[in-house]
């Protein structure tokens, strides 16, 4: 597993280095074209300064920028306990040092992404539409994919590669536009100053123009190659974590099915998502110019993994489906321990209707914004906004007067914590026993005591006695 | 003089290497311990959840006394187990009892509609998963550690400072790995 991550890092570094060369060459050529033969160095340093500034900004504020752009909102466990449970499960499976922060994006389009330059400070964001559509196993698959991005350091790497691409595009754009508007004046200046080098300068200028047009395209292709590879690898790691390829496969199928657009995604943040959020564009363009591998192919690979869930199984299925080279380096395949597929979690597989799906999305977003939910006796669910001041209201359907609970969210998660806080004690024998209540007082149990609960007479807390009913 | 210096240099390098090896072994051993503690946390949580679950289900499932009792009994047995082997066996039995209980629950629509029960069920499913995943992480860790102890050259250091191999956390009861069979003849 560690060799895999390392090899993966090394290969990415090579691509990263190539992109760096693109940037340096671009800087040199543009400098030389604008400022004469000695301007090359100035061009290089300018290009590097731009890249460094952008990198530093993204390193220290990238997470909050990305989360801000996507409109993600940090949530507490009581909004969606299942999502938190699933994230914690993946945290355990991937041995992350800390629990990732959990964000929900207010959008009906199903998608998800992860950010965080190191595992200690990562965050996982999912859309409300995703939560409404997927069942437990599918959600687990998606979260595992995102966790894998964090574990494999994809987030860090893709951010830097993205910045590199951005700088290249920025510099060549500025150059080309500058040429368009002020080309005449600079040429006149140069031809009058150095007559001898006029021809050389002209050649450099032409090469610079060609390179300024080609570099962004080249860098983009490299960037896409890195991005697609990382998606496959994250799929492989996700299956290894969950041991259940069908979960991720059917999640991807469901995501592909929806034709909803994520309005706040853009070209820069697109590679972070689990599937390309810019659907309309992705379909038209060919495989070479896409940040994500085609979903149908990803699903086919996952469904082809019948025997096990190790990296070896993914590699076999991968070469079978794509018919091409290897994805996972040999060192990552050394671990040949069979990893069997686990059984699906017991959950009724009811397909939500379009209407209940929309309702689920709406309710989730309302819960995030502090709405209260009241269920009337007639079955109507009433949503009460957080700024509602009255203590009661009539039901819109049956006109019963309903009490509004005083500004507290009646959440189930809190109920569980309370239930857990309620202490239990196991009977060990039929004789006299004593144990300590949570308040510190010693409680005695007589052999004749057959109740299932005992109330402490100093703090009033009740303790469940287990073991009485079996004797 | 030069030969002496070279010899001294080699000795210093070897000592540094030995110290590094020893430290990495200690680090690995601590990681195994930490992984075990993770399992323990989840097992404890499962033990805490079961009485609440049984309490909620009791009112709805009068005819399933046997199922509920087997869960409670498996729980008390698991809480009493000490060694890694015993614990793995008892917890395996508890997992089996819980999954049988969850299958029986499917026959009680009223119970499945109970909000409190649904939340408890989600908690229990999640805890089961967390146990499985922490077990997986623990076993990976143990494999790595045991390999290190057995392989040359770290095996020398391991032998010198008496690093013991760790046990894997395996489910003893083979039956638990398969999905439980459902008997329709009773209905």
Q: What confidence tens digit (pLDDT) does each residue in A124-159 have?
A: 999 888 888 888 889 999 999 999 888 888 877 777
Q: Is residue B167 part of a domain?
A: no
Q: Which residues of B touch A469 (CB under 8 A)?
A: 69, 72
The nearest alpha carbon in chain A to B179 belongs to A343
Q: Is pLDDT of A25 > 50?
A: yes
Q: Is residue B82 part of a domain?
A: yes
Mean pLDDT across chain A = 74
Contact A89 B137 (CB under 8 A): no
Q: Does the beta carbon of B81 lie under 8 angstroms from any beta carbon of chain A? A: no
Contact A346 B49 (CB under 8 A): no
Smallest CA-to-CA distance from A142 within A253, A226, A227, A228 is with: A253
Contact A95 B35 (CB under 8 A): yes
**Between A333 and A56, whose confidence is greater?**
A56
Task: Name the one residue in this structure whose structure tokens are 């400070």.
Answer: A121
Q: What is the pLDDT of residue A434?
A: 73
Smallest CA-to-CA distance from A93 within B110, B144, B35 is with: B35
Output Rg (C-alpha) for chain B, integer angstroms. 24
Q: What is the DSSP letter of A73?
A: E
A391 contact partners, CB below 8 Å, separation of at least 6: A403, A404, A406
Q: What is the pLDDT of residue A345?
A: 60
Q: What is the DSSP letter of A259?
A: -
Between CA A330 and CA A7 the distance in angstroms is 10
Q: Is residue B43 part of a domain?
A: yes
Q: Which residues of A touch B140 (CB under 8 A)?
A: 1
Q: Which two tokens stand for residue A42?
A: 């100035």
Using CA atoms of A243, A246, A249, A252 in order, give the dihedral in degrees to the nearest 10.
-100
Q: What is the pLDDT of residue B180?
A: 46
- CATH number where B93 lies: 1.20.1440.20
In the set A3, A120, A138, A146, the catalytic residue is A146
Q: What percent of chain A has pLDDT over 90?
A: 4
Q: What is the pLDDT of residue A145?
A: 93
Q: What is the pLDDT of residue A1?
A: 54
B contact test, residue of A95, A414, A428 with most B CBs within 10 A: A95
The nearest alpha carbon in chain B to A243 belongs to B133
Smallest CA-to-CA distance from A15 within A170, A211, A168, A157 is with: A157
Smallest CA-to-CA distance from A86 within B122, B101, B138, B52 is with: B122
Q: Is pLDDT of A411 > 50?
A: no
| A281 catalytic per annotation | no
Q: Is residue A146 within 8 Å of residue A370, measured between CB atoms?
A: no
- Give the residue numbers spanning the domain of B70: 33-135
Between CA B151 and CA B160 the distance in angstroms is 14
Contact B99 A1 (CB under 8 A): no
Between CA A394 and CA A417 the distance in angstroms is 32
Between CA B163 and CA B26 the distance in angstroms is 9
3-state SS of chain B is CHHHHHHHHHHHHHHHHHHHHHHHHHHHHHHHHHHHHHHHHHHHHHHHHHHHHHHHHHCCCHHHHHHHHHHHHHHHHHHHCCCHHHHHHHHHHHHHHHHHHHHHHCCCHHHHHCHHHHHHHHHHHHHHHHHHHHHHHHHHHHHHHHHHHHCCCHHHHHHHCCCCCCCCCCCCCHHHHCCCCCCCCCC
Q: Is residue B125 within 8 Å of residue A342, measured between CB atoms?
A: no
Partnered with residue A102 across adjacent β-strands are: A124
B126, B134, B137: residue with CB nearest A85: B126
A240 contact partners, CB below 8 Å, separation of at least 6: A1, A309, A310, A311, A314, A339
Q: What is the pLDDT of residue A442?
A: 72
Q: Does the beta carbon of A416 lie under 8 angstroms from any beta carbon of chain B? A: yes
β-pairing verdict for A123-127 and A101-105: parallel
Q: Is residue B13 part of a domain?
A: no
Q: Which of residues 112-141 of A touch B (CB under 8 A)?
A: 136, 140
Q: Which of A102-111, A214-223, A409-418 has the highest mean pLDDT?
A: A102-111
Q: What is the pLDDT of residue A144?
A: 93
Smallest CA-to-CA distance from A76 within A335, A409, A323, A341 is with: A409
Q: Which of A279-288, B15-24, B61-70 has the highest mean pLDDT?
A: B15-24
The nearest alpha carbon in chain B to A78 belongs to B119
Q: Is residue B179 part of a domain?
A: no
Closest Cα of chain B to A272: distance in Å? 26
Question: Residue B8's pLDDT band (boundaries 50, 70, 90)?
Answer: very high
Q: Does the beta carbon of B52 lie under 8 angstroms from any beta carbon of chain A? A: yes
Q: Is residue B171 part of a domain?
A: no
Number of neighbouring beta carbons within 10 Å of residue A222 = 18
Least reliable range by pLDDT among A337-341, A443-447, B136-140: A337-341
B38, B51, B137: residue with CB nearest A424: B51
Closest Cα of chain B to A159: distance in Å? 29
Q: How open is the CA angle A283-A289-A293, to the nearest 5 degrees?
A: 65
Q: Is residue A94 within 8 Å of residue A239, measured between CB atoms?
A: no
Q: Is pLDDT of A409 > 50?
A: no
Task: Name the one residue in this structure whose structure tokens are 């601590």.
Answer: B30
Over residues A434-456, mean pLDDT: 72
Contact B120 A416 (CB under 8 A): yes
B42, B73, B115: residue with CB nearest A412: B115
Q: Does the beta carbon of B76 lie under 8 angstroms from any beta carbon of chain A? A: yes
Q: Which residues of B touch A89 (CB under 8 A)?
A: 126, 129-130, 133
Closest Cα of chain B to A40: distance in Å? 46
Contact A420 B72 (CB under 8 A): no
Q: Does the beta carbon of B126 lie under 8 angstroms from any beta carbon of chain A? A: yes
Q: Which residues of B touch A420 (CB under 8 A)?
A: 48-49, 52
B69, B119, B133: residue with CB nearest A89: B133
Q: Which stretches of A292-426 are DSSP H helices?
A: 295-303, 311-322, 354-368, 412-421
Between CA B148 and CA A24 the distance in angstroms is 44
Q: Is residue B186 part of a domain?
A: no
Sign of CA dihedral A39, A41, A45, A48: positive
Contact A416 B119 (CB under 8 A): yes
Element (H, E) at A392: strand A392-394
Q: What is the pLDDT of residue A67?
A: 84
Edge-first strand order for the sheet with A72-74 is: A72-74, A101-105, A123-127, A112-115
Q: Is pLDDT of A301 > 60?
A: yes
Cβ neighbourhood burial of A408 (10 Å; 0-12, 13-18, 19+): exposed
Q: Is residue A378 within 8 Å of residue A395, measured between CB atoms?
A: yes
Q: Is pLDDT of A283 > 70?
A: no
Q: Is pLDDT of A61 > 50?
A: yes
A89, A415, A424: residue with CB nearest B119: A415
Q: What is the pLDDT of residue B171?
A: 60
Q: Is pLDDT of A161 > 70?
A: yes
**Between B85 and A76, whose confidence is greater?**
A76
Q: Is residue B90 part of a domain?
A: yes
Over residues B74-84, mean pLDDT: 82
β-pairing verdict for A123-127 and A112-115: antiparallel
Q: Is pLDDT of B151 > 50?
A: yes
B contact test, residue of A310, A345, A419 with most B CBs within 10 A: A419
Q: Which two tokens stand for residue A287?
A: 């495989």
Q: What is the pLDDT of residue A268?
A: 65
Closest Cα of chain A to B114: distance in Å? 11
Smallest CA-to-CA distance from A282 within A296, A293, A272 is with: A293
Q: Look at chain B and report how many structural domains it folds into.
A: 1
Sign of CA dihedral A296, A301, A302, A303: positive
Q: Which of residues 133-192 of A touch B (CB under 8 A)?
A: 136, 140
Q: Is residue B67 within 8 Å of residue B104, measured between CB atoms?
A: yes
The nearest alpha carbon in chain A to B37 belongs to A92
Over residues A191-205, mean pLDDT: 61
Q: Does the beta carbon of B122 lie under 8 angstroms from any beta carbon of chain A? A: yes
Least reliable range by pLDDT among A128-142, A180-194, A368-382, B152-166: A180-194
Q: Is pLDDT of B46 > 70?
A: yes
Q: What is the pLDDT of residue A4?
A: 61
**Between A93 and B182, whose confidence is greater?**
A93
Q: Which residues of B touch A88 (CB under 8 A)?
A: 126, 130
Q: What is the pLDDT of residue A348?
A: 46
Q: Does the beta carbon of A413 lie under 8 angstroms from any beta carbon of chain B? A: yes
Q: Does the beta carbon of B65 lie under 8 angstroms from any beta carbon of chain A? A: no
What does the pLDDT look like over A214-250, one tens digit per residue? 888 888 887 887 788 888 888 888 888 888 888 888 8
Q: Is pLDDT of A106 > 60?
A: yes
């Amino acid at each position: 597993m560690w060799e895999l991550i390392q090899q993966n890092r090394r290969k990415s570094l090579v691509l990263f280095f190539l992109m760096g060369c693109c940037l340096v060459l671009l800087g040199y050529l543009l400098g030389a074209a604008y400022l004469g033969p000695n301007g090359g160095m100035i061009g290089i340093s300018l290009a590097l300064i731009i890249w460094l500034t952008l990198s530093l900004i993204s390193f220290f504020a990238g997470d909050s920028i990305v989360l801000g752009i996507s409109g993600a909102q940090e949530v507490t466990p009581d909004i969606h306990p299942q999502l938190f449970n699933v994230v914690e499960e993946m945290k355990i499976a991937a041995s992350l040092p800390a629990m990732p922060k959990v964000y929900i994006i207010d959008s009906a389009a199903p998608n998800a992404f992860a950010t965080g330059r190191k595992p200690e400070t990562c965050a996982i964001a999912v859309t409300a539409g995703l939560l409404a559509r997927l069942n437990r196993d599918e959600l687990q698959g998606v979260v595992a994919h995102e966790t894998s991005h964090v574990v494999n350091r994809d987030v860090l790497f893709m951010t830097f590669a993205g910045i590199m691409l951005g700088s290249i595009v920025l510099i060549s754009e500025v150059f080309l536009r500058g040429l368009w508007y002020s080309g005449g004046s600079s040429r006149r200046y140069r031809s009058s100053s150095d007559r001898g080098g006029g021809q050389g300068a002209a050649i450099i200028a032409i090469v610079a123009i060609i390179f300024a047009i080609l570099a962004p395209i080249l860098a983009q292709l490299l960037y896409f190659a890195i991005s697609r590879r990382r998606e496959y690898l994250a799929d492989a790691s996700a299956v290894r974590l969950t041991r259940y390829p069908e979960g991720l496969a059917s999640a991807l199928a469901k995501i592909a099915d929806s034709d909803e657009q994520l309005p706040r995604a853009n070209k820069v943040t697109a590679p972070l998502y689990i599937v390309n959020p810019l659907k309309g564009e992705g379909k038209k363009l060919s495989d070479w110019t896409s940040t994500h591998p085609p979903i149908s192919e990803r699903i086919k690979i996952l469904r082809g993994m019948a025997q096990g869930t190790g990296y070896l199984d993914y590699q076999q299925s991968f070469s079978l489906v794509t018919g091409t080279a290897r994805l996972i380096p040999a060192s990552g395949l050394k671990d040949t321990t069979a990893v069997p597929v686990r059984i699906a979690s017991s959950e009724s597989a009811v397909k939500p209707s379009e209407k209940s799906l929309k309702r689920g999305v709406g309710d989730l977003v309302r819960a995030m914004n502090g709405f209260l939910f009241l269920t009337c006796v007639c079955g109507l669910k009433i949503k009460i906004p957080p700024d509602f001041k009255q203590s009661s209201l009539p039901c819109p359907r049956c006109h019963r007067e309903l009490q509004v609970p005083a500004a507290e969210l009646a959440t189930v998660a809190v109920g569980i914590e309370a239930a857990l806080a309620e202490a239990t004690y196991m009977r060990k024998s039929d004789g006299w026993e004593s144990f300590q209540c949570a308040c510190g007082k010693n409680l005695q149990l007589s052999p004749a005591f057959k109740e299932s609960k005992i109330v402490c007479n100093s703090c009033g807390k009740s303790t469940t006695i287990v073991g009485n009913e079996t004797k | 003089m030069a030969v002496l210096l070279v010899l001294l240099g080699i000795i210093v390098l070897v000592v540094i290497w030995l110290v590094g090896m020893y430290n990495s072994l200690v680090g690995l051993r601590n990681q195994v311990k930490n992984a075990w503690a993770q399992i323990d946390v989840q097992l404890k949580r499962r033990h805490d959840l079961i009485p609440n679950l049984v309490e909620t289900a009791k009112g709805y499932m009068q005819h399933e006394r046997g199922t509920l009792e087997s869960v409670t009994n498996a729980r008390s047995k698991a809480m009493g187990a000490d060694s890694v082997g015993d614990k793995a066996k008892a917890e395996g039995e508890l997992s089996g009892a819980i999954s049988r209980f969850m299958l029986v629950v499917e026959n009680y629509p009223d119970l499945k509609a109970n909000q409190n029960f649904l939340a408890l069920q989600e908690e229990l499913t999640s805890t089961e998963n967390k146990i499985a995943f922490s077990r997986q992480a623990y076993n990976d860790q143990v494999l790595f550690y045991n390999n290190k102890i057995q392989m040359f050259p770290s095996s020398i250091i391991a032998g010198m400072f008496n690093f013991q191999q760790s046990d894997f956390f395996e489910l003893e009861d083979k039956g638990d790995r398969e999905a439980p069979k459902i008997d329709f003849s009773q209905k």
